[in-house]
Amino acid sequence: MPCRLKGKILACRLRWKVLVCNERGMALVSVVLMLTVLLTLAYLLTEKILQSTRQSADAANREQIFWAAQAGIEAARQQLAAGYSSSGGWQTFLTAGTAQAYPAASAWVTEINELPVEIYLRDNPDGDGDVRNDNDLKIFVLARVRGRRGTEAIVESLCGFDLPATAGYMAGAGQLTTESGADLSDQPVSTYGIAD
């Protein structure tokens, strides 16, 4: 074989080896790039699922504390109905100096579904000018619940005894009575729309 031909064959073989080596390097780089893209997609998908799970848990928590506050209002209505006479017409619950604001301290705390519900009370503007004296059998009740992660629910309701428009009432001798003499202290406390 002539030397020139041998040299060309040898040069072709060398080029072929260099090309094959370069292709092996490119395959490795391609695999690494593909793995990087797949791992990034898996991370993004996992993060999206975790975020959705957190949002669902937060929504359930907000709903739970809202319904606990609603249940706190109902529990307060029962306690107000049962304790009208013994509290001197709710006078022991009402704090002086809270005309349009609730007192800093709660009247009582009740627990609903392992959540503490703070109950605050204040007299509605009933025209007598005395926030410690209720003269229309209606009182504002506020229930406040604090949940996990700083979530809070506050529900306010105007509650009181539901008397017919024609009936008057008298508080005397530790009993709540109508002008006709019927005892109202065993009547349930109703909820009214808040429109003062």
Give pLDDT, residue 180.
Answer: 45
Q: How many domains does the chain have?
A: 1
Helix (H) or strand (E) holding 94: none
* Tokens 């390097």 sit on residue: 25
Q: What is the pLDDT of residues 30-44, one digit of tens each?
A: 899 999 999 999 999
Confidence of residue 173 (pLDDT cuts 50, 70, 90): very low
Higher pLDDT among residues 119 and 22, named by residue? 119
Q: What is the pLDDT of residues 100-159, one digit of tens each?
A: 788 888 999 999 989 999 999 988 887 777 777 777 888 899 999 998 788 899 999 988
pLDDT at 61 over 50: yes
The C-alpha atoms of residue 51 and residue 151 are separated, in whole angstroms, by 18
Give pLDDT, residue 111.
Answer: 94
Neighbours of 80 (CB within 10 A): 22
Structure tokens at 150: 């700083």
Structure tokens at 195: 């429109």
Q: Using alpha carbons only, give the angle 87, 93, 143 rounded to the nearest 5 degrees.
A: 125
Domain enclosing residue 109, as ranges: 1-196
3-state secondary structure of 87: coil
Most confident stretch, 5-14, 20-29, 69-78: 69-78
Residue 17 CA, chain-centre distance (Å), reads 70
Mean pLDDT score across all residues of the chain: 78
| C-alpha distances out from residue 111 to 65, 146, 147, Å | 11, 12, 12
